[in-house]
Amino acid sequence: MRSEALARRTAMGDATRASASEAASRHALAALGDVRARTVALFAPFRDEIDTFPLASLLRAAGANVALPVIVGRDQPLLFRLWRADDPLAPEGAYAIPTSAPDAPEVIPDDLIVPLAVFDRVGARIGYGAGYYDRTLSLLRSRKQVRAFGLAFACQETAAIPAEPHDEPLDGMITEAGFLSFGGLHAHSLPR
């Protein structure tokens, strides 16, 4: 499932991905609602992932604090550092994923925008195989109420993902087609 969805994502082409990223960013802001003084954790786009930079700009303009994840170590939850608009990003870790500077303040997010390879319409996702977001969401949700929204292209959808005991469900899914809620949030739904 993962390789098929990622092949569909790659086949979109740069221009289509850029346009879809802009549309998804507008849907994400609407789905999140009032973000003033909330901390929203994004991910820096890696390879041909959906571009989160347009969403970062919208969130900052709406009064949110924006954070990025940091991989601390294998089998450990992520930590999050504040990412201000003028902060340069630098590749870090084994995957060379762009992150905030090491001296950026650590924060605990209120909302997480989660990367993924594949999703379905009941809140299941397949990531990239290391389990970082499942561990992180489990820890955060044991401490406070945290919302988690998948952000990807519509072509990454599949009919059904077999759930595993460690899988943390999403509260909603955002694509260029709209927002699909998996729990009592009010927003536009993806077409069926």
Residue 133 assigned as binding residue: yes
What does each C-alpha distance from 140 to 100, 111, 183 come to in angstroms? 20, 10, 18
Residue 125 assigned as binding residue: yes
Residue 130 assigned as binding residue: yes
Residue 4 assigned as binding residue: no
Provide DSSP, 76-116: S--EEEE--TT---EEETTTTEEE--TTSPEE--SEEEE--
Residue 129 assigned as binding residue: yes
Residue 93 assigned as binding residue: no
Residue 131 assigned as binding residue: yes
Q: Which residue's structure tokens are 């994400």?
A: 28
Three-state DSSP state, 53: helix
Query: Contact, 122 vs 182, CB < 8 A?
Result: yes
User: Which strand (E) or helix (H) includes residue 134?
Assistant: helix 132-143
Residue 90 assigned as binding residue: no
What residues form the annotated binding site for substrate? Answer: 49
Binding-site residue positions: 49, 125-133
Binding site for ATP, residues? 125-133
